[in-house]
Amino acid sequence: MSVQDKARRIIWIRRFVQTLVLVFFLVILAANRPADGVAPTAPVTIFFDLNPLVMVSTWLASHSLEGISLLGLLTLAVTLVFGRVFCGWFCPFGTLHNAVASLRKQFRKVVPRVEMFSRWQRAKYFIFLALLVMTSAGAQWIGVLDPFSLLYRSISLTILPALDVGVSAVANGVYLTDPHLGSLHLRDLTEPVYRWWQERVTATELRVFSGTGVVFLVFVTALVLNLVRNRFWCRYLCPLGGMLGLIAARPLLRLTSDPEACNSCQKCTLACPAAAQPEKPGEWLASECFGCWNCVGSCNNQGLDFQWTLPLQKTSSGSVDIGKRRALASVAAGVAGLSMMRITPAAQGKTFNPALIRPPGARAEYDFLQRCVKCGLCMQTCPSGGLQPTWAEAGLEGLWSPMLVPAIGWCEFECHACGQVCPTEAIKPLPLAEKKKVKIGLAVIDTTRCLPYAYGRECIVCEEHCPVPDKAITFEMREAMQRDGSVRLLKFPRVDPVRCTGCGICETKCPFQDLAGIRVVSAGEDRHPDNQPMLAGGDPYGDPNSDSNGNANEESNGDSYGY
Amino acid sequence: MPDPTRRDFLKTSALVGGGLLAAESLALREAALASATPPAMSIARWDEAALANSDLSDVAVKLTQTAIESLGGMGRFVNKGDTVWVKPNIGWNRRPELAANTNPDVVAAVVRMCRDAGAKTVKVGDHPCHPARQAYRNSGIAKAVEEAGGKMVYLDKKRFKEMTIDGQHLKKWPLYVEIIEADLVINVPILKHHGLSKASMAMKNYMGIIGGNRGSWHQNLDACLADITQFMKPRISLLDAVRVLTDHGPQGGDPADVDVRGIVAASTDIVALDALGAELLGHDSQAIGNIGVAAARGLGTPDYRSLDPVEKTIS
């Protein structure tokens, strides 16, 4: 079997592997749904666990290995041996880029364009270095550009909801209008499909996320850039590609070329998605190469092959010259970026955004931002749909990190899924009993809107939804004057700051839909000692025998929370 | 004589089974004819002394069966081939022991009886306050119903349709099409405390079939509940008081608020049923606003004893 035949066979295996991984990625993504209120059992974080960029940056940012998967080491080991095969064989985002690039070839008979190595491809190393500098000072911004975070966030927060809007619109439209021919009802066809979609894919009511236009735009731009250069993202921008490229400078498996066989036909250059210079004998760029075998398969003269080399042997290949000055410039850029993010009042703890309500178990803001990779898993799994990506609420540093928006959905009392699926433990995986006691904020009543206060009307909706067994909303009976001058005795709600956990269901369910008469603010959140309006130590006027949660010290109370 | 073939065997068993069924329904019909008007209400109680040592699941099933049978059996309400919607209270993501949702064994027993009475499809669903999937699961109702041959239905926010209620307060309101289209809706609430109406029972349970801004109903809850009840024209309702939530309702959450009472009642008169429930919670039925309003509209009688309920105590 000739080298070319062998390569062609390997290419087909690679395509198969790529497809498999991409499908697996989507299946795993669909598995991260709030099916029935328990955290998903599927290994939903596996892609992030394998991601060495997430591993190293989280470690550097948090100065701790706590809660970090070390599976990323496996990827690093593979890269040391085989080069950037992670990009060429595994990365689902890379596979998507491949797909877009080949679609371009299929549908538009474009003139083949010889894409030579461009020095701009070094950008990804600079991006990686700059992000790493920021990271080591605690600003984990990797997630914005990490390919897995980007892909996951884009699909779960934009593509999937868009599909869901479409699917449910069609299914509900057909259901309600019921078009039929005799006894043949179209709904008999659409209903089973819709049921499958809801049970297996979304497993929840239709949900949408705010401010995701930019998320979508970044995703689409990254894909469209394939029209400019094949796998533009992977070649020029990807920080994970940059990291692996630096490690892959001297892999054990290297491309060898036979100068005698080369007739300068440039078929290999055309076939190379990475512009790794297979056409220049002795100048192949190991750091750029995805290990895809396209070049070997394209050479009719059998002039190329991948061969084992002794470790650390001097390369007979070219190398990407990053340059000390440019590396230094990236470091400076990282420092500049970091300071820009940190010179805000909020970052310096001078102000607190009342809307920045973090999920239960979220670490203190600094620690949280050091770990959150903005992947979107927690938002996707939140059963009420209340976890939303931030835009400006957490500053640029916290872009697309999760916050609870009670106007949209609340933190479900019997649920702790967000902490269970967080790949970096930015949200700690608290046991359910513990999570129920976490304060993520505090409810405040707006007496200019609350129905009994402002309009003298009866309403107990916030109290009835308050999930704390002994109720964090209590009533005070007060007289309210009616239009005819009569007086009606009404229940006026009041929030008990000791019991309120800030779950936000009162705000979600308040009859006022635009701006609720009771709203949750971040004040009082456990994770922040400086954001506390209330005197610590529980109820100042209450029973001295009750604990700081306002519970009388009885066995039964422990049980009521802790089942 | 040759050995009976499988086909013969099936034929014979079908005949025998059919005969038994016919005999049973005949007996029921005779019983129904004997008392000129069938009973309008039944109350099944578990022997209080035996309650502590009984398996509550067993208690719930037997009480439900007794209550329905005392009313003349499910065949009185369900016709062969019917689509029945059983409407329990599954409002909350709470486990059965906390008595925030209808007892799953009660619901399953109702489903089974509907199936036995020849219902083609028995759908079970509610419009919960908490996420439906979680509430269906943690209430234990999803599992119990599926084992009983019923079908759990998740209500779809987009499938409510504005309907003409023409009530005293409500003129129009979005209701769930699939529920309204069912041949029979069986209202199966749990008896529990409620912060506004004091008690949440059958009429209050109708809030789980409506869409729109449900919270706004509380501004005139009694009239709204009477309006929806009038619109629904209930033929049978069944009150689960196996476990009763006595405080912090309608959601509860503290086991200390739960009282095991071991009672299931059924009635064709929803107002009477709710009046019984009010009494069980220690209220004069006059103290429950929606009972008074519904009675004034002629939707039923708050004096449930006047219906001469069939009362049975079993163990």
- The two beta strands, B83-88 and B41-46, are unpaired
Q: Which residues contact B7 (CB under 8 A, 6 or more apart)?
A: none
Distances (CA, A) of A170 to A186, A258, A338: 11, 59, 47
The answer to whether B194 faces chain A, any CB pair under 8 Å, is yes
**pLDDT value at position A83?**
93
SS3 label, residue B152: strand
**pLDDT value at position B35?**
55
d(CA A1, CA A9): 10
Structure-token pair, residue A461? 């909706």
**Eight-state DSSP code of residue B200:** E
The residue with tokens 């009038």 is B230
Residue B205 pLDDT more than 50?
yes
Residue B5 pLDDT more than 60?
no
Q: Which residues contact A311 (CB under 8 A, 6 or more apart)?
A: A250, A252
- pLDDT level of residue B11 (50, 70, 90 thresholds): low
Residue type, A417: A
The answer to whether B246 faces chain A, any CB pair under 8 Å, is no
Tell whether A296 is covered by a domain. Answer: yes
Same domain membership, residue B132 and residue B17: no
Going by C-alpha positions, the residue among A521, A8, A543 that lies closest to residue A293 is: A8
d(CA A464, CA A424): 36
Tell whether A192 is covered by a domain. Answer: no
d(CA B67, CA B73): 9
The answer to whether B169 faces chain A, any CB pair under 8 Å, is no
Question: Could you tell me if A242 and A236 are in contact, meaning their C-beta atoms sit under 8 angstroms apart?
Answer: no
The residue with tokens 């705010």 is A210
Find the domain containing A64 and state its range: 3-124+217-308
Among chain B residues, CA nearest to A516: B215
Residue B17 pLDDT more than 60?
no
- Choose, out of A460, A462, A482, A490, the residue to mutate when testing the contact with B (most B CBs < 10 Å): A460
Reported as a single tens digit per residue, the pLDDT across B235-292 is 999 999 999 999 998 999 999 999 999 999 999 999 999 999 999 999 999 889 999 9
Structure-token pair, residue A61? 């940012």
Residue B81 pLDDT more than 90?
yes
The answer to whether B177 faces chain A, any CB pair under 8 Å, is yes
Question: Could you tell me if A536 and A527 are in contact, meaning their C-beta atoms sit under 8 angstroms apart?
Answer: no
- What is the distance in angstroms between the Cα of B292 and the nearest Cα belonging to chain A? 18
The residue with tokens 């304060």 is A439
d(CA B124, CA B305): 31
Residue B34 pLDDT more than 70?
no
Same domain membership, residue B98 and residue B195: yes
Tell whether A190 is covered by a domain. Answer: no
Going by C-alpha positions, the residue among A386, A378, A389 that lies closest to residue A422 is: A378
Residue B37 pLDDT more than 90?
no
**Eight-state DSSP code of residue A318:** B
Q: List strand residue ranges (DSSP E) for A60-210, in order.
A: 180-181, 184-185
Tell whether A328 is covered by a domain. Answer: no
Tell whether A495 is covered by a domain. Answer: yes
- The two beta strands, B184-188 and B83-88, are parallel
Average pLDDT, chain B: 91
**Eight-state DSSP code of residue A198:** I
Q: Could A560 and B256 be called an inter-chain contact, meaning their C-beta atoms sit closer than 8 Å?
A: yes
**pLDDT value at position A559?**
37
Same domain membership, residue B244 and residue B141: yes
Find the domain containing B28 and state its range: 1-36
Same domain membership, residue B249 and residue B132: yes
* Percentage of chain B modeled with pLDDT above 70: 89
The answer to whether B258 faces chain A, any CB pair under 8 Å, is no
Same domain membership, residue B310 and residue B281: yes
Q: List strand residue ranges (DSSP E) for A135-284, in order.
A: 180-181, 184-185, 253-257
CA angle A352–A355–A361, rounded 5-degree value? 85
The answer to whether A183 faces chain B, any CB pair under 8 Å, is no
Same domain membership, residue B151 and residue B170: yes
Same domain membership, residue A225 and residue A76: yes
d(CA A135, CA A146): 13
φ, ψ dihedrals at B312, nearest 5°: -135, 140
CATH number, domain at B309? Answer: 3.40.50.11440
**pLDDT value at position A552?**
41
Among chain B residues, CA nearest to A456: B219
**pLDDT value at position A314?**
65
Question: Could you tell me if A389 and A157 are in contact, meaning their C-beta atoms sit under 8 angstroms apart?
Answer: yes
Q: Which residues contact A493 (CB under 8 A, 6 or more apart)?
A: A445, A450, A452, A460, A462, A463, A473, A474, A475, A518
Last residue of a domain, one of A308, A325, A340: A308
Tell whether A249 is covered by a domain. Answer: yes
Going by C-alpha positions, the residue among B63, B109, B110, B65 that lies closest to residue B85 is: B110
Q: Could B131 and A37 be called an inter-chain contact, meaning their C-beta atoms sit closer than 8 Å?
A: yes
**pLDDT value at position B29?**
56
Residue B25 pLDDT more than 70?
no
- Domain count across chain A: 2
Question: Could you tell me if B314 and B62 are in contact, meaning their C-beta atoms sit under 8 angstroms apart?
Answer: yes
Same domain membership, residue B31 and residue B162: no
d(CA A88, CA A245): 12
Question: Could you tell me if A524 and A415 are in contact, meaning their C-beta atoms sit under 8 angstroms apart?
Answer: no
Alpha helix locations (H) across A444-522?
451-455, 461-465, 505-509
Neighbours of A483 (CB within 10 A): 6
Reported as a single tens digit per residue, the pLDDT across B148-177 is 999 999 999 889 999 999 999 999 999 999
Same domain membership, residue B129 and residue B32: no
The residue with tokens 């990365």 is A91
Tell whether A75 is covered by a domain. Answer: yes
The ipTM of this complex is 0.85
Residues 443-472 of A with CB under 8 A from B: 451, 457-461, 463-471
- What is the distance in angstroms between the Cα of B306 and the nearest Cα belonging to chain A? 33
Per-residue pLDDT of chain A (563 residues), as tens digits, is: 789 999 999 999 999 999 999 999 999 998 888 766 567 778 899 999 999 999 999 998 888 888 888 999 999 999 999 999 999 999 999 999 999 988 877 776 666 667 788 889 999 999 999 999 998 888 888 999 999 999 999 999 999 999 999 999 999 999 988 899 998 999 999 999 998 888 888 877 778 999 899 999 999 999 999 988 889 999 999 999 999 999 998 899 999 888 888 888 889 998 999 999 988 877 889 999 999 999 999 999 999 999 898 766 665 566 777 788 888 999 999 999 888 888 888 888 889 999 999 999 999 998 999 999 999 999 999 999 999 999 999 999 999 999 999 999 999 999 999 999 999 999 999 999 999 999 999 999 999 999 999 999 999 999 999 999 989 999 999 999 888 999 999 999 999 999 999 999 999 999 999 999 999 999 999 998 889 999 888 788 876 555 544 444 443 333 333 33
d(CA A216, CA A207): 16
Same domain membership, residue B104 and residue B194: yes
- Give me the helix-helix angle, B289-296 and B270-280, nearest 10°: 150
Structure-token pair, residue A133? 């500098």
φ, ψ dihedrals at B260, nearest 5°: -85, 115
Q: Could A172 and B94 be called an inter-chain contact, meaning their C-beta atoms sit closer than 8 Å?
A: no
**pLDDT value at position A246?**
93
φ, ψ dihedrals at A276, nearest 5°: -95, 15
The answer to whether A316 faces chain B, any CB pair under 8 Å, is no
- pLDDT level of residue B14 (50, 70, 90 thresholds): low
Residue B91 pLDDT more than 50?
yes
Same domain membership, residue B74 and residue B10: no
Same domain membership, residue B175 and residue B120: yes
- Domain count across chain B: 2
**pLDDT value at position B274?**
97
Same domain membership, residue B192 and residue B54: yes
